[in-house]
């Protein structure tokens, strides 16, 4: 017997459907991973694949799975500053009041007794064979950009579910109709605003809600014809790689399809350069876990397993952070700069939307330095590399407003003789073209070469560390911090140890940002609404990457977040005027 659906009250203005709004909530709650098509959350307990993947059609643009454990949500509410906690609670209250309280439902009494450990939201791509729907602005009966939405609720207790939902509460007008499709009963309702909803119990294990009857039929087809998300290329092979115990959320994104839809949206267009690079990947998936000091993210991206393109490289990074001082604010490292360059060249070839055309970059580099980028420079850069920002610390340094930090580039040379020849040519160019004086010197008895500005101040220094690692420092003269080695390395820094995940070992690159220190030393441009409020809650960010195989890459990300006091209970539910009378009737 089919289970009824929780109805949605009438609204005078077109509002997103329940699944869409819950998905938006997931994005807001994730707090730091946002973006129209490319960020969300997901979760199941003790399983490799999310709930509902056997029902969701394989052409789903994205899925978001969220924990239904109230303790997890309360744990999330403890993170951040008072301001961010207030913003989060406001969003949670709005969602609760609109989709539960305003419809006469209480989560603890009506939903919690029967729902499973997680729910899954899916965004389905428009059917290409169908006539394109009118824009939302022209009719309230269509979904955003013609996309359909599914909400999959696992049934943990069938008796409780039937008992509570057998007689759905129906504030406002409209009634439920019933029909059968492929042997499965579907309940449908059209609201006063023309918005349609459908619900069905599939296999007596899942309550599925769709924002349109056709979307429900697609879900039933996917289930009965064994053509669900599980059959998507690389999905079942890669999702288990990010399996983790008791995650708060998990997500999946069909990258090329998402990029295609985003490109066709007049209001949500992404730069063509970004879209083209995204199309090189087939899928992106991730899981999010709430830890005591922040949010842990495990991700995996993969190419089409049946495609010709393969990932090349080795997991051989991990030394550069030991060569940098503990006060380093930012570090980006990789395993092989030459390989990274040629990977970029291969994906940018014949691509009119490449962010920077390789040939133009090579031409500009030669014009500036008189060196051939590939022959003179990259030919000996086959080892690990890093780019970092190290701030000044002494009072004398901070008085010099020209140099508040140094940009330090380090690379393990595969051929020292070629490297020395390249530096010699670079010194000659700096001297002749920029009129900088090139002078040999020593730092802690280590030979270096300084570039001196008009005032005689060193504006850059290059040399060698441990025989095979070359460095070039631009900005503040602080090479004594890492020559011959730092007295206290970046790996000893508490914020590094907390922020940079170490589970991926070996790996081929890391990223680290001490946001607290960066905010004190450098201005941060505004990119998002209320950016300063959210950034103030974050202490640091760390990323570790590794090649999983020839077609997939793993990512571990940790966002260290400030923690506030234990949050108070959310305010009591409220109702809006247009449903208050209906609520009174439903309680009689």
DSSP assignment of 516-579, as one string? Answer: HHHHHHS-----STTHHHHHTTEEEEEEEEEEEETTEEEEEEEEEE-B-SPPPPPPPP---HHH
391, 327 contact by CB (below 8 A): yes
Stretch 137-150: mean pLDDT: 53
Cα(479)–Cα(408) distance, rounded to whole angstroms? 9
Band (pLDDT 50/70/90 cuts) for residue 170 is: low
Spell out where 377-493 has E strands.
385-391, 405-412, 437-443, 446-452, 458-465, 469-475
Q: How far is CA 176 from the centre of its chain?
A: 39
pLDDT at position 528 over 70: no
> What number is the average pLDDT over the span 109-123?
90
Measured in degrees and rounded to the nearest 5, phi and psi for residue 578 equal: -75, -15
Helix axes 82-99, 70-77, angle to 10 degrees: 140
Q: Is the predicted pLDDT of residue 576 greater than 70, yes or no?
A: no
**Residue 442 confidence (pLDDT):** 95
Integer Cα distance of 485 and 488 in angstroms: 9
Residue 404, pLDDT score: 83
Mean pLDDT, rounded, for 511-522? 86
Provide the pLDDT for residue 336. 93
For residue 475, what are the β-bridge partners?
406
Peptide bond into 506 cis (omega under 30): yes
Tokens 């051989």 -> residue:
316
Mean pLDDT to the nearest integer, 522-536: 66
Q: Please state, in angstroms and rounded to a whole number, the distance separating the CA atoms of residues 457 and 250.
A: 52
Q: What is the mean pLDDT of residues 88-114?
A: 79
With vertex at residue 11, the alpha carbon angle to CA 9 and CA 14, rounded to the nearest 5 degrees, is: 125
Mean pLDDT for all residues in the chain: 79
Residue 512, phi then psi, degrees to nearest 5: -145, 135
Q: What local confidence, expressed as pLDDT, does residue 17 receive?
A: 37
C-beta separation of 447 from 435 below 8 A: no
List C-alpha distances in Å: 322 to 202, 319, 326, 369, 489. Answer: 55, 6, 9, 30, 5
pTM of the predicted structure, to 2 decimals: 0.80
Whole-angstrom Cα distance, residue 6 to residue 19?
A: 12
Say if residue 364's pLDDT is above 70: yes
Q: What is the pLDDT of residue 125?
A: 86
pLDDT at 585: 42
pLDDT of residue 116: 92
Dihedral sign for Cα atoms in the order 179, 182, 186, 192:
negative
């Amino acid at each position: 017997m089919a289970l009824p659906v929780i109805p949605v009250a009438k609204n005078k203005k077109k509002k997103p459907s329940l699944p869409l709004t819950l998905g938006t909530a997931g994005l807001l709650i994730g707090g730091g991973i946002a973006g129209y098509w490319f960020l969300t959350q997901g979760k199941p307990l003790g399983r490799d694949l999310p709930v509902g993947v056997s029902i969701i059609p394989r052409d789903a643009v994205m899925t978001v799975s969220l924990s239904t454990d109230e303790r997890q949500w309360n744990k999330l509410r403890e993170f951040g500053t008072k301001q961010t906690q207030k913003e989060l609670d406001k969003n949670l209250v709005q969602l609760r009041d609109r989709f539960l309280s305003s419809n006469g439902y209480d989560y603890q009494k009506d939903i919690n007794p029967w729902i499973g450990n997680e729910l899954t939201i899916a965004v389905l791509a428009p059917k290409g064979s169908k006539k394109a729907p009118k824009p939302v602005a022209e009719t309230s009966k269509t979904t955003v950009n013609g996309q359909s939405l599914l909400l999959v609720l696992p049934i943990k207790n069938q008796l409780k579910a039937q008992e509570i939902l057998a007689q759905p509460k129906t504030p406002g007008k409209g009634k439920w109709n019933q029909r059968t499709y492929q042997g499965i009963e579907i309940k449908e309702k059209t609201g006063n605003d023309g918005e349609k909803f459908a619900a069905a119990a599939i296999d007596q294990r899942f309550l599925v809600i769709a924002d349109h009857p056709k979307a429900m039929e697609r879900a039933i087809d996917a289930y009965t014809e064994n053509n669900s998300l599980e059959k998507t290329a690389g999905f079942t092979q890669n999702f288990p790689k990010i399996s983790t115990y008791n995650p708060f959320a998990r997500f999946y994104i069909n990258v090329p399809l998402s990029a295609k839809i985003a490109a066709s949206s007049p209001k949500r267009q992404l730069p063509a350069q970004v879209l083209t690079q995204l199309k090189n990947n087939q899928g992106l998936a991730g899981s999010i876990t709430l830890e005591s000091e922040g949010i842990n993210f495990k991700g995996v991206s993969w190419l089409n397993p049946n495609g010709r393109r393969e990932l090349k490289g080795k997991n051989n990074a991990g030394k550069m952070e030991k060569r940098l001082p503990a006060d380093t604010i930012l570090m980006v490292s990789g395993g092989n700069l030459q390989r990274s360059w040629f990977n970029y060249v291969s994906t940018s070839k014949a691509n009119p939307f490449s962010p920077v055309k390789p040939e133009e970059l090579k031409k500009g580099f030669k014009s500036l330095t008189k060196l051939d980028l590939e022959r003179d420079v990259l030919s000996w850069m086959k080892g690990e590399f890093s780019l970092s920002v190290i701030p000044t610390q002494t009072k004398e340094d901070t008085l010099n407003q020209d140099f508040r930090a140094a940009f330090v580039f380090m690379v393990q040379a595969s051929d020292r003789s070629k490297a020395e020849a390249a530096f010699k040519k670079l010194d000659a160019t700096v001297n002749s073209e920029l009129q900088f004086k090139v002078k040999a010197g020593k730092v802690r008895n280590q030979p270096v070469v300084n570039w001196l500005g008009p005032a005689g101040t060193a504006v850059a220094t290059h040399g060698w560390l441990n025989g095979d690692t070359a460095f070039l420092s631009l900005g503040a003269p602080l090479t004594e911090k890492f020559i011959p080695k730092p007295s206290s390395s970046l790996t000893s820094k508490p914020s590094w140890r907390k922020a940079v995940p170490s589970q991926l070992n070996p790996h081929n690159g890391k990223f680290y940002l001490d946001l607290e220190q960066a905010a004190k030393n450098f201005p941060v441009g505004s990119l998002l609404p209320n950016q300063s409020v959210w950034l103030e809650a974050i202490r640091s960010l760390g990323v570790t990457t590794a090649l999983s195989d020839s077609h997939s890459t793993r990512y571990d990300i940790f966002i260290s977040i400030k923690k506030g006091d234990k949050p108070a209970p959310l305010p009591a539910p409220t109702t809006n005027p247009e449903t208050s009378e209906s609520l009174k009737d439903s309680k009689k």
